[in-house]
Amino acid sequence: MTVKKMVITEPTLRVQTDNLVFLFGLKMPPFKESFVRVKVEIFFDGKFEKSFYPLVPCSVNGTVHSIKFEINIKKLSNGPHSIRVTICGLGNFKGISCAKDFKFYYDAGKRKLVEKIETTKSQKETITVVTDEAKKIFNELKKRQQEEIFWQREKY
């Protein structure tokens, strides 16, 4: 009898507006069923953050199912952080589980520079400077749009 087990793949991290998006993959072994309900628990810096119950597809060819989790950046401080992902099967798959730790370094310096930039609240007070190159690109886009409209009319 072979032991079937889940595998958590390496994550990808990216900053998106006010959130740190944590995306990792889950590779399920082939089962008779096409989907398996699992419990995913996320621990951030040793503290329980969230749990959820996704329905994960099982495939014969070993496809990786991606799971996404977001953390609010405002909570983060500079320095090293850790995320622990624990996944356990439910129902007929209760004995199958896996866990993995991920470590990353967060530097909020660049984020603070972006937040210091002032934005204008109305366009009446702003002055727009358009370069010749930007005008040329805008005119080309306008010309293409007019051509597309013409050809769509000719088509019908």
Highest mean pLDDT out of 83-92, 116-125, 135-144 = 135-144
Phi/psi for 44 (5° steps) reads -115, 120
Q: Give the pLDDT mean for 79-99.
A: 82
Q: Is the pLDDT of residue 122 over 60?
A: no
HEC per residue, the chain? CCCCCCEECCCEEEEECCEEEEEEEEECCCCCCCEEEEEEEEEECCEEEEEECCEEECCCCCCEEEEEEEEEHHHCCCEEEEEEEEEEECHHHCCCEEEEEEEEEECCHHHHHHHCCCCCCCHHHCCCCCCHHHHHHHHHHHHHHHHHHHHHHHHC
Residue 89 pLDDT class (50, 70, 90 cuts): confident
Contacts of 22 by beta carbon, 8 Å cutoff, 6+ apart: 11, 12, 13, 68, 69, 70, 71, 83, 102
Percent of the chain with pLDDT over 70: 80
Residue 26, Cβ density class (10 Å: 0-12 exposed, 13-18 middle, ≥19 buried): buried
pTM above 0.85, yes or no: no
- Alpha-carbon span 63 to 73, nearest angstrom: 31
CA distance 87 to 13: 19
Confidence band, pLDDT 50/70/90 cuts, at residue 115? very low
Longest CA–CA span in the chain (Å) reads: 74
